[in-house]
């Protein structure tokens, strides 16, 4: 393909879209539908990831301080805890604050009426950056002088990590499968459009067109249809997502599921839709055009 | 120049080998005008397909315009085809393009600049007698005119050879003579012409070299009359 041809071939790509309006429209509809499903799974995966991460953050470690340690020393243990790599932050809770919380929790329970602050210990509420490394971090904290014992829910942390991994793998599997299905559908749609142009391609070959010259307009067509479909699907996804989130917010029993606003998903969604649209459009077109390239 | 040396072409049809050509020797020199005649199944189409690189010989060698067709690489075939103009019985014009665009299309394929196209296409259209038809679509002109467009398209890249496969098959007698006369004029300008035809009257009328094929063999080769 020569440079002289570039503008002409791009123009031909656009001409192809409009002169074969019905197959182009069908290809856009199919791509939009597939991208919407792929997009829905992507936003679901993203939201579940955020939810699990938020839940995981509430899985804190309680570090109890030796009762014999003077108050000033107990407060300085926090500095050493914060130095540990996996610790996001640690909040000191004095035995008096702990008692207040205890009383508030067990109000009206006469069995705990005689509990004094001195019966409790100073403690730190420690939040980790990565809960999968909880066991190693607990070992590090135990080595700090003044730490009496630690209460950590390992099973819960592992459970959250497992849920996150399962959701991630399942969503990726569904997305890959759907992209593959979209590719097949687009390939067939473009193939149908190309059978229409079989004679035109035959004439091109007869007058000495190279495979690059013949396939370039179809590449442009696939690119344009892919980008256009991605833009339409992105707009629809945004609209449907906002509608769904508004509906869910109105249902009291579903308050547990807090979906993030779509604006927070803009960057990953733009990347997902553009990549998926281009992949399906270009690979689908090239896959179809290959069949017509035999001499 | 076309040169076939002991060319055999065999097809496999339902596990049976069918020989379309059986040891054909043939030379058509640059600047010649030749008719290729024969019944259906005599091997005419196979010869055309071997010349344009659509098929490779099973045995023997085919040389066309400096290319060895028995050894040609796939990516060279478009360049071979640019040295040959082909005209078909059914014209093979692109319906949604104008006459001008149909002819210009062949130049665009080889990467010609727009200024060259704008200069060459009107000239070639005037050579084939289609001045004033530039903006017409193929279905707005007669069969004879459509075949002239096909000839113009074959001619526009200045090929050294034009192959016309039954070019008058869809035309009445007068138009057929017109097209043959046009091809003769093009031959007078130095272009090699090979016409595949069934039309005996045209062959007799134009008195050129006639190559007769039968069952894959050249059974006669000489000047008419």
CATH of the domain at B206: 3.40.50.300
Residue B150 lies in a domain: no
Whether B25 is in a domain gets the answer yes
- How far is CA A256 from each of CA A246, B74, B109, rounded to the nearest angstrom? 14, 64, 63
Q: What pLDDT is attached to residue A136?
A: 87
User: What pLDDT score was predicted for residue B165?
Assistant: 92
Please report whether residue B141 resides in a domain.
Answer: no
pLDDT exceeding 70 applies to what percent of chain A?
Answer: 88
| C-alpha dihedral, A114 to A117 to A118 to A119, nearest 10° | 50
Question: Which chain B residues are within 8 Å of A200, Cβ to Cβ?
Answer: 94
User: What does the pLDDT average to over A7-23?
Assistant: 79
Q: Do the domain assignments include residue B9?
A: yes
In this predicted structure, the answer to whether residue B211 has a pLDDT above a threshold of 80 is yes
What's the sign of the alpha-carbon dihedral B120, B124, B127, B132?
negative
More confident residue, A71 or B98: B98
* Chain B interface includes A198 (CB < 8 A): no
- A-B C-beta contacts closer than 8 Å: 51
Residue B134 domain flag = no
Nearest CA to CA, how far is B217 from chain A (Å)?
A: 26
**What pLDDT digit, counting tens, does each position of A258-290 carry?**
788 888 888 888 988 888 888 878 887 777 777
Highest mean pLDDT of the ranges A148-157, A241-250, B130-139: B130-139
Give the DSSP H or E segment for B9: strand B2-13
Q: B20 phi and psi, to 5 degrees?
A: -80, -35
Region A143-150 average pLDDT: 89
ipTM confidence: 0.84
To test the contact with chain B by mutation, choose from A1, A12, A206 the residue with the greatest count of B C-beta atoms within 10 A, namely: A206
pLDDT digits (tens, 9 = 90+) for A153-200: 777 777 777 877 887 888 888 888 877 877 777 677 667 766 777 778
Sign of CA dihedral A188, A193, A194, A198: positive
In a domain, B145, yes or no: no
Least confident of A48-52, A86-90, A109-113: A109-113
Using the predicted structure, report yes or no on whether residue A43 has a pLDDT greater than 60: yes
User: CB of A202 within 8 Å of any CB in chain B?
Assistant: yes
Domain boundaries, chain A: 3-55+159-293, 60-152
**Total domain count, chain B:** 1
Domain range holding B222?
A: 1-83+162-168+192-225
Class of domain A60-152: alpha beta
Asked whether residue B38 is assigned to any structural domain, the reply reads yes
Are residues A148 and A64 in contact, defined by beta-carbon separation less than 8 angstroms?
A: yes
């Amino acid at each position: 393909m020569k440079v002289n041809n570039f503008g002409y071939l791009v123009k031909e790509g656009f001409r192809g879209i409009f002169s074969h309006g019905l197959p182009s429209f069908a290809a856009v509809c199919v791509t939009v539908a597939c991208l919407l499903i792929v997009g829905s799974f992507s936003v679901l995966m993203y939201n579940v990831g955020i939810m699990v991460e938020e839940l995981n953050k509430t899985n804190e470690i309680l570090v109890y301080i030796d009762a014999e340690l003077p108050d000033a020393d107990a407060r300085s243990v926090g500095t050493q805890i914060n130095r540990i790599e996996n610790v996001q932050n640690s909040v000191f809770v004095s035995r008096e604050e702990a008692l207040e919380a205890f009383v508030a929790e067990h109000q009206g329970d006469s069995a705990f009426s005689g509990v004094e602050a001195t019966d409790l210990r100073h403690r730190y509420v420690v939040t980790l950056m990565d809960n999968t490394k909880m066991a190693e971090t607990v070992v590090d904290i135990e080595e700090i002088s003044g730490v009496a014992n630690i209460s950590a829910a390992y099973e819960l942390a592992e459970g959250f990590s497992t849920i996150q991994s399962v959701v991630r793998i399942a969503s990726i599997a569904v997305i890959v499968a759907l992209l593959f299905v979209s590719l097949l559908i687009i390939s067939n749609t473009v193939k149908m459009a190309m059978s229409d142009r079989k004679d035109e391609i035959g004439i091109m070959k007869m007058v000495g067109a190279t495979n690059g010259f013949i396939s370039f307009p179809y590449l442009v067509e696939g690119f344009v249809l892919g980008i256009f479909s991605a833009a339409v699907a992105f707009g629809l996804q945004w609209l449907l997502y906002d509608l769904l989130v508004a509906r869910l917010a109105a249902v009291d029993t579903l308050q547990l599921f807090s979906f993030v606003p779509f604006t927070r998903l803009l960057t990953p969604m733009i990347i997902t839709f553009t990549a998926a649209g281009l992949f399906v459009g270009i690979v689908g077109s090239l896959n179809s055009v290959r069949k017509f390239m035999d001499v | 120049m076309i040169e076939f040396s002991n060319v055999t072409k065999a097809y496999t049809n339902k596990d049976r080998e069918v020989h379309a050509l059986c040891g054909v020797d043939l030379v058509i020199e640059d600047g010649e005008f030749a008719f290729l005649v024969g019944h259906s199944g005599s091997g005419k189409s196979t010869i055309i397909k071997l010349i344009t690189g659509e098929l490779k010989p099973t045995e023997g060698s085919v040389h066309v315009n400096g290319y060895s067709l028995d050894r040609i690489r796939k990516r060279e075939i478009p360049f071979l085809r640019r040295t040959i103009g082909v005209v078909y019985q059914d014209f093979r014009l692109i319906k949604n393009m104008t006459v001008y665009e149909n002819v210009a299309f062949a130049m665009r394929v080889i990467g010609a600049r727009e200024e060259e196209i704008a200069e060459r296409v009107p000239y070639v259209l005037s050579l084939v007698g289609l001045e004033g038809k530039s903006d017409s679509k193929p279905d707005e002109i007669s069969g004879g005119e459509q075949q002239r467009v096909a000839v113009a398209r074959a001619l526009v890249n200045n090929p050294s050879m034009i192959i016309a496969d039954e070019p008058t098959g869809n035309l009445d007698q007068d138009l057929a003579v017109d097209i043959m006369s046009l091809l003769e004029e093009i031959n007078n300008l130095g272009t090699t012409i090979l016409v595949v035809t069934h039309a005996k009257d045209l062959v007799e009328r134009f008195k050129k070299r006639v190559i007769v094929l039968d069952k894959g063999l050249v059974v006669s080769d000489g000047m008419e009359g």
